[in-house]
Amino acid sequence: MARDLIHNIVKNALINDGWNITHDPYPVKVGGFEMEIDLGAENLVAAEREGEKIAIEVKTFAGLSKVYDFHLAVGQFIDYRIALKTKEPERILYVGITDNVYEEVFELPFPQMVIKEINMKIIVVNPDLNTVIKWIK
């Protein structure tokens, strides 16, 4: 499976934020489908996140259409969240994007409506600093 251009940036930002990468990729087999979420991670350091498990689908938004890329991110988020409920319901799914993508796409009114409707969780990273700058839960 091809990795998104920002895969390692998101991975390094999570590591810098205190997360232990447990899967790269995180395989999910359910209902006759075999899927791979980009990353699985656990945080065993911060008290408020102790034992928290997450999975991250990394999205670059480098296609010809931001609308298509958004549709793809939404579809994958829904599919993977349903699959995780079956396999590991305590693991929380996030979409990992850059701060530029967040500002140019995810802050627009329609994407905000979709994010709210499907309860999409998002990790926003700064690609220059390899840091997580925002957790949207």
Q: What pTM was estimated for this model as a whole? A: 0.92
Quote the radius of gyration of the chain (alpha carbons, Å): 14
Asked if 75 and 55 count as a contact pair (C-beta separation under 8 A), the reply is: no
Dihedral of alpha carbons 62, 26, 2, 12, sign: positive
Q: What is the pLDDT of residue 47?
A: 42
| The CATH number of the domain covering residues in 16-47+69-136 | 3.40.1350.10
DSSP annotation of 25 reads S
Asked if 38 and 60 count as a contact pair (C-beta separation under 8 A), the reply is: no
Asked if residue 3 has pLDDT above 80, the reply is: no
Q: What is the pLDDT of residue 46?
A: 46
Q: What is the pLDDT of residues 19-54, one digit of tens each?
A: 999 999 999 999 999 999 999 998 865 444 567 899
